[in-house]
Chains A and B, each alone.
Chain A
Amino acid sequence: MELLVASAVGLLTAAGIYLILRRRTFPVILGTSLLSYAVNVFLFATGRLITNAPPILNKYAEVPYTDPLPQALVLTAIVISFGMTAVVVMIALGAYLSAKDDSINMDETASADGEDA
């Protein structure tokens, strides 16, 4: 089980890094999303993996619980990563609509245009 989670995190990270190194906004946004998954699962897994032991207190029996702390941390991280993705998408969209170009790098022609403008 641990190997599955670790390999999944590794693959998500690798895919995320690869997409972040692309030249257009959309793949980069996808890459950051994949990296967010990887980071969230990574943080979650620091609480170690336990099945069938949710951190919901059982008043009637002594049962094991998984670590609630990483879960609380990751929960807010998920919501915040939505906010971050939304802002980045917005910036990408605004930039594309303004410049008709979704390249993330300022190449020679782009900077020359900027000086002319």
Chain B
Amino acid sequence: MSLFLIAALPFLGALFPALLIRAGRNASASSAALATGLAFVGLMLHAPAILRGETVQVGIDWLPVLGLHANFFLDGLGFLFATMILGIGLLIILYARFYLSRQDPMGQFYTYLLLFQGAMVGIVLSDNILLLLVFWELTSLSSFLLIGYWKHLPEGRQGARMALTVTGMGGLAMIGGMLILGHIAGSYDISVILQHKDAIQSSDLYLPALILILIGAFTKSAQFPFHFWLPHAMAAPTPVSAYLHSATMVKAGLFLMARLWPVLAGTPEWFYIVATTGLITMVIGAVIALFKDDLKALLAFSTVSHLGLITMLLGFGTKAAAIAAVFHIINHATFKAALFMTAGIVDHETHTRDIKRLGGLRHLMPVTFVIATVAALSMAGIPPLNGFLSKEMMLEEVSHTYWLQNPYLLPGLATLAAAFSAAYSFRYIAHVFLGPKRDDYPAKPHDPGFGMWASPALLVTLVVLIGLFSARMVGPLVDAAAGAVTQSHPHAHLKLWHGVTPALYMSGIAVLGGAVLLALHAGLLRIWNAVPRPEAKVIFDALIGAVTDLARGATARLHDGSLTRYALIMVTFTLAISVFAYGTGTIGAPTREQQAVGLLPLVGWICLIVATACIVLFHRRRFIALILIGIVGLIVSLAFNFLSAPDLALTQISVEVVTIILMLLALNFLPKETPVETPVPVRMRDGVISILGGLGVGGLIYALMLRDFAAPSISEFHLANSYKGGGGTNVVNVILVDFRGFDTFGEIIVLGIAALVIFALTEAVLSTRVRAYLLNREPDMPQAGDSHPGLMVVVTRMMMPVALMVAAYIFFRGHNLPGGGFIAGLIAAIAVIMQYMASGFGWATERQRIPYHGIIGSGVLIAAATGLGAWFNGEPFLTSAFGYVHIPPLEEFELATAALFDLGVFLAVVGAVMLALESLSRFAWQPGIPTEHAMDINPARDTAAQDTNEV
């Protein structure tokens, strides 16, 4: 099976459990198991090749420019991890089916689990470190979902957050390290990087890269001082703990160290950082574990300790130590997953995980007792179980490794850790299962059904078999994986009896010491509780709190809610960089002559200047400012017309009309005056900034206009091809509907969205208490005597068809003469708005049968369909076609698909303008009060209204 499929199967499978949960919990669990099982089978098909020492590679270029390739490869190491991830994943799926209660959303659980599984498989199969990073971050995210699965538990949420923070920060550091590594090696492909050991280790960037990558690995694998997140992640359901903390998530860091071992290991830096961290973690984890009363906390710290052990072995940098590390990864996964599952069974059956409340369970839960005992003895390192073998190999390596030339330090501390390890393993057996039967269990314990103990039972069978027949069971696998780690062909001598070696003595001391420690447990616990020690969670919370306060403080200072200040900062900054650009740039001499000024432009200019100045002077009187801005708009449209832009003039003047109406509608509700709020110095400052800005912009355009184009303009192309290619003589319109049709298409969509936003805002505002306020609102200005003057009503009704005819005329001539969809749409909208204004909202709404949303939508759809039509002719999107038709007795006329596109523009503009204005009008409209008779002028109306009021 292709590696792509193996990596993709868990992700594909993740879709099903959440969907199939409707068909029942068995269907959901089966679909998860099926996906995992298929991937597992696919992986096993590669087993013969891998165990022969071959590697399988597939790959496609994803983003070659960035060096990111979707390359996968499978070697011994990847195979070992993928086998554990998928194999134990299957067992967890079975176990979780019976562990989770009916209240737990099981579909979600399996979906998260498969997402996580897919991310893990992705990590171990990646042949590209950038791809690996993507999967790495995915494990952080999906494990967050899994750890926080019991959302109702605060510990679950906190634990998930802590795990995400710690591993996420580590991932961030690792991205940096990986990029440096790829930079040194000149490739991001792992198989290439692994060939560049000397280049990497002699590089100046080796140490930074090493430290950054190790931070990523240590956080993930819960190494000291990042070990504290792991015990807090125990708030997750036990299947999650068993999966994440035995075989997968925490092993990802180990995997990474093993994966990059060939290029990173072997230096003193590697030895002292990795081996020392591993040693400290191993000892601390083992000591703390002994004093934990929570079963899962005990296992969590023992996991920390064992991860430290493997890290230390990888840190030694020797081939034998690497073999021992690989072997212990297998053994730890088997016995620890089984132990977590038995802890889950105990919790499930007795409703407590507190060792102080347990004991004597061997009579009540014999099956669980056997499974737990075998697994715990393996963890303690008792022959002939598999834990003993790898622990012997570890002690053997330790016995001849010198730390700073000190021959006793490493063996001494390793033996100490092994003794504590034996002690907490014995405690797991003795204080939970042995001892007298109690009568105060929170629930009546008994062995669970087969479904629940099948998975741990299978695992302890492996524990025993690997212990007894290690060479035959896992010899080739260890060889292949260690071969991948060390890039050689090692042969592991896995056997129970190595003769009387220093390691045997140390093992013996450790086991005896463990028994003694357990015997002294009660006394040691008192000392332990009496000695003050730093609490990692408190430190972590304080750190996070400090960071949060810092962020909040910085945000509050920068983002203080004063929009004026933001605007001021932006304008000043723009001015500053403009001044810088002006000071550093160069400008050539003017190449164009200033054109003569006629009387008419001068008059227009004076109007504009005076109007603008008056806006600034009288902006506090809002109606006057609005009228003045109308004048500015008018002059601008006249200027467009004068300067050879008839289309712009038409558009500007019609937009002007709807904008002013819109602002008038809004001003109806807003205060009519702006109070004086800023002191004179502030206004002076704003004035200076504004004048500087104005001078800059004016000066820029002045300099621009007096010079020719710096580069040849593309306008010539449009002028030359407008008629030949687009079939229209109005070049501006042809650009809009043809050359740049895609822009226009986006444009009308934006306009439609703006209108919908306005509609939605209206709905939202009117559904609050604002509605009541509006209904009871007293007008703050004198009302017109007749809100619908008869003259206006009559005139607007008569003008309606005329205005629409003008719109149609403007629309149709648009392709060849000034006009087009935009302008025609605005004119049509104005024609309709006139009806609203003259005859009232209620009257107009009653006669408005097509909703404006629909008009916008149909416009966009027509434009899109026109564009898509080009596909049927094998042309790209929005290619236009046109032809000339002659039907007697009409003149010859043109038919162009561009006109259809323009129709879409027309409809979208009409719909958007109308929807915006209609929404605003609804603020003024009071439902239930019929708009008064718009057309029928009836003198009895006032008395009739009075009668209604009296009733």
Contact = CB atoms under 8 A, between A and B. Distances in A.
Contacts of A27: 619-620, 625, 674
B761 interface: yes
Contact of A106 (B561, B644, B678, B826): B561
A44 B648 contact: yes
Interface in A47-99: 47-59, 65-69, 71-72, 74-76, 78-87, 89-94, 96-98
Given A1-B601, A5-B705, A72-B735, A80 B662 contact: no
B430 interface: no
B678 A23 contact: yes
Interface string B694-731: 11011101101110100001110011001100000111
A10 B622 contact: no
B762 A90 contact: yes
A109 B751 CA distance: 36
A32 to B, nearest CB: 10
Contacts of A47: 715
A110 B563 CA distance: 14
A103 to B, nearest CB: 8
Given A15-B616, A56-B818, A75-B822, A6 B694 contact: no
A111 B702 CA distance: 45
B459 to A, nearest CB: 55
A9 B833 CA distance: 31
Contacts of B701: 5-6, 9-10, 42, 45-46
Interface in B809-844: 816-818, 822, 826
Contacts of B770: 94, 97-98
Contacts of B652: 40, 78
Interface stretch (B4-12, B27-35, B126-134, B590-598): B590-598
B735 A83 contact: no
Interface string B472-506: 00000000000000000000000000000000000
Interface stretch (B114-122, B510-518, B628-636): B628-636
A75 B916 CA distance: 20
Nearest to B760: A90
Contacts of A98: 765, 768, 770
B702 A2 contact: yes
B796 to A, nearest CB: 22
B919 A41 contact: no
Given A84-B754, A87-B757, A30 B740 contact: no
B677 interface: yes
Interface residues of A, number: 89
A57 to B, nearest CB: 4
A20 B567 CA distance: 7
A89 to B, nearest CB: 5
Given A8-B608, A97-B770, A76 B644 contact: no
Given A75-B732, A82-B658, A94-B761, A19 B818 contact: no
Contacts of B758: 86-87, 90
B723 A1 contact: no
Contacts of A90: 666, 757-758, 761-762, 916, 919-920
B689 interface: yes
Interface string B279-310: 00000000000000000000000000000000
Nearest to B660: A33
B73 interface: no
A10 B700 CA distance: 9
Contacts of A57: 719, 722-723, 729-731
B interface, over-half SS: helix
Contact of A2 (B595, B651, B671): B595
Contacts of A80: 747, 750-751
Given A19-B616, A79-B651, A5 B923 contact: no
Contacts of A17: 571, 686, 689-690, 693-694
B364 to A, nearest CB: 56
B806 to A, nearest CB: 18
A33 B659 contact: yes
B56 interface: no
Contacts of B626: 30
B817 A83 contact: no
B402 interface: no
B751 A15 contact: no
Nearest to A4: B605
Nearest to B687: A18
B642 interface: yes
Given A92-B666, A105-B563, A106-B561, A97 B698 contact: no
A23 B564 contact: yes
Contact of A30 (B613, B625, B719, B773): B625
A16 B594 CA distance: 27
Given A26-B667, A93-B669, A86 B754 contact: yes
A12 to B, nearest CB: 6
Contact of A102 (B605, B670, B747, B909): B670
Given A3-B594, A80-B747, A93 B694 contact: no
B765 A49 contact: no
Name the residue in A11, A96, A105 with the highest tally of chain B Cβ atoms < 10 Å from its Cβ: A11
A27 B817 CA distance: 38
Interface string B743-761: 1100100110011011001
Nearest to B619: A27
A34 B609 CA distance: 12
Contacts of A84: 754
Name the residue in A12, A82, A94 with the highest tally of chain B Cβ atoms < 10 Å from its Cβ: A82
B640 interface: yes
A40 B702 contact: no
B594 A66 contact: no
Interface in B306-361: none
A82 B670 contact: no
Interface string B410-423: 00000000000000
Given A66-B644, A90-B758, A78 B718 contact: no
B736 interface: yes
B609 A22 contact: no
Contacts of A16: 690
B885 interface: no
A7 B640 CA distance: 16
Given A12-B632, A17-B693, A83-B755, A76 B666 contact: no
Contact of A79 (B594, B643, B909): B909
A97 B751 contact: no
Contacts of A111: 561
A72 B732 contact: yes
B913 interface: yes
Given A6-B702, A17-B690, A79 B655 contact: yes
Given A11-B609, A11-B694, A89-B920, A56 B730 contact: yes
A90 B291 CA distance: 64
Nearest to B645: A71
A27 to B, nearest CB: 5
Contacts of B898: none
B530 interface: no
Contacts of A3: 594, 702
> Lowest 9 A-B CB distances belong to which pairs?
A10-B698, A14-B694, A106-B561, A6-B702, A83-B754, A57-B729, A18-B690, A72-B735, A1-B595
Given A97-B774, A110-B561, 20 more contacts: A8-B608, A14-B691, A15-B612, A21-B568, A22-B674, A23-B677, A30-B629, A37-B632, A45-B705, A49-B595, A51-B642, A51-B644, A56-B731, A57-B729, A67-B713, A68-B718, A72-B735, A80-B751, A87-B758, A105-B562
Interface of A: 1-30, 33-34, 37-38, 40-42, 44-59, 65-69, 71-72, 74-76, 78-87, 89-94, 96-98, 102, 104-107, 110-111
19 contacts: A1-B594, A10-B694, A11-B608, A11-B613, A12-B612, A19-B615, A20-B567, A22-B678, A50-B643, A54-B645, A54-B646, A72-B736, A78-B648, A85-B663, A86-B754, A87-B757, A89-B920, A91-B761, A105-B562
